[in-house]
Amino acid sequence: MLTGRERAVAEVDLAAIRHNVRRLSRDLPPGGQHCAVVKAFGYGHGAVPVARAALAAGSSWLGVATATEAEELREAGLDAPIMVFGPMTGAELALAVAAGADVVAWSGPFVEEARRLGARVHVKFDSGMGRLGVNEAGSRELCAAAAAGPSRLVGLMSHFATADEADTAFYEYQLGRFTRLAGELRRAYPDLLRHTANSAATLRSRASHFDIVRTGIALYGLAPANDDPFKDDLWPAMRLTSYIAGVRHVQPGDSVGYGRRFIAEAPARIGIVPIGYADGIARALTNRGDVLVAGRRCRITGTISMDQLTVRLPDDGGAPGDEVVFLGAAQGQRILCEDVARLLGTINYEIVCDVGARVVRRYAHEQETDEEAALWSAAREAGERARASETRTEGETG
Ligand SMILES: *Cc1c(COP(=O)(O)O)cnc(C)c1O
């Protein structure tokens, strides 16, 4: 009987979350705020522990997609400002307002209802995303309506469609439109908070930062363009593991699993791993995905089932009880979420969001150590010195 671990575990390193918040806040303008986007169960990582860690590292806003997500944060005792990004029915709007969350508006009737409820409103300007939002004229009207009370006009926001793409033309177009409208409306409403940057824009250019940046994917240490998070000094927070529950020795002609999609040509060792597609290991990784067993890469071999899967073990490695890594590092080897996403023709966002509800979330480094705090204050001071000398240089040349 194996003891000591759950069948499938997503370990979330909260020190990595804190690091990423500080990394993302590093280049913000004076007074610039960080909104930690924790919608969709914190992109699979767990919204409440991630939100706590982000706030501890200096985030001042939390972003969610739904009223219920806002309510869950409040029930956990978090009292930071929250914005709810998504469309809401009347009932959901009432729930969000009751939870003390800010709401996002892009229609007259919605603003009227928000006014009736005394909501705090951010108007959504569509600068080119082509999804939610209204144009310049519509934004002016909605801002005026929300500011007329008893609701409050809090912010003007927009969202980028291509901030993660190498071609920056459309990004620059959206940024230009937002910059012009935000400047105009800020003169009309001096307290207006302007925000448009997602993770990709936050990393791409300071011109996108304005008053608040809203970062999701990079908060979790994942690369917005699905390439290499380490090049931007982001630390992946999630490590997804299971273990070898048993080893089978197959002979030539023996098959493994549904549909007999692996038939042994030679004697082989097959490890049985109690994690499946219901836990978020995409069935399309059958015979294609890799895992780490004791630091060695092994192929997922045979059809992935709902609750378990099988891997081809080395002839001389892999024993019952060994850890099996799906995302994360072991003995100097690493499987990046981005690599798995590329193999599946999708993006890292979907990989972590798909990690199933029955995968146990475990949190590491809940408390910041003195060492971590000291490292960060040293980094902050170095950053301030660098900015000060940059400003001097600009002053000299300009
Ligand atoms: C999800 C979301 C974000 C975060 O986007 P990332 O690409 O994960 O940084 C920001 N703003 C809005 C409105 C969102 O819905």
CATH number of the domain that 288 lies in?
Answer: 2.40.37.10
Q: Residue 164 CA: which ligand 1 atom is closest?
A: 7
Do 188 and 314 share a domain, yes or no? Answer: no
**DSSP conformational letter for 274:** S
On the question of pLDDT at 397 being above 60, the answer is no
Note if 39 is an active site residue.
yes
Ligand 1 centroid to residue 160 C-alpha, Å: 9
Q: How far apart are CA 234 and CA 219, in angstroms?
A: 8
Pocket test for ligand 1, best of 198, 222, 337 (most atoms within 8 A of CB): 198
Determine the Cα–Cα distance for residues 258 and 260; give it in Å rounded to an integer: 5
The answer to whether the CB of 154 is under 6 A from ligand 1 is no
pLDDT number for residue 394? 52
**Residue 2 pLDDT more than 70?**
no
Per-residue pLDDT tens digits for 141-159: 999 999 999 999 999 999 9
The residues pairing with 300 across neighbouring beta strands, listed in sequence order, are 311
Expressed as residue numbers, the domain containing 260 is 238-335
pLDDT score at 177: 98
User: When comparing pLDDT for 368 and 82, which is higher?
Assistant: 82
131 alpha carbon – ligand 1 mean position (Å): 13
Give 256 Cα–ligand 1 centroid separation in angstroms. 41
pLDDT band with cut points at 50, 70 and 90 for residue 396:
very low
- For ligand 1, whether the C-beta of 19 sits within 6 Å is no
Final residue of a structural domain among 320, 335, 350? 335
Number of domains in the chain: 3
363 lies in a domain? no
Write the pLDDT tens digit of every residue in 110-135: 999 999 999 999 999 999 999 999 99
Of the pLDDT bands very low, low, confident and very high (cuts 50, 70, 90), residue 393 is low
- pLDDT tens per residue across span 37-76: 999 999 999 999 999 999 999 999 999 999 999 999 999 9
271 and 183 assigned to the same domain: no
pLDDT at position 188 is 98
The reply to whether 109 and 187 lie within a common domain is yes
- Structural domain ending residue among the three candidates 166, 192, 220: 220
What is the rounded average pLDDT of the residues 268-294?
98
Arithmetic mean of pLDDT, 237-248: 97
Query: How far does the centroid of ligand 1 lie from the alpha carbon of residue 39, in Å?
Result: 9
d(CA 143, CA 159): 17
Residues 215 and 263 both lie in one domain: no
Token look-up 């690369």 returns 223
Residue 195: CB within 6 Å of ligand 1?
no
Q: Is 215 in the pocket of ligand 1 (CB under 6 A)?
A: yes
Arithmetic mean of pLDDT, 238-265: 97
| Residue 56 shares a structural domain with residue 168 | yes
pLDDT score at 379: 77
Q: Which of 39, 43, 171, 243 is labelled catalytic?
A: 39
18 alpha carbon, distance to own chain's centre: 13
Residue 354 lies in a domain: no
Is pLDDT larger for residue 395 or for residue 35? 35
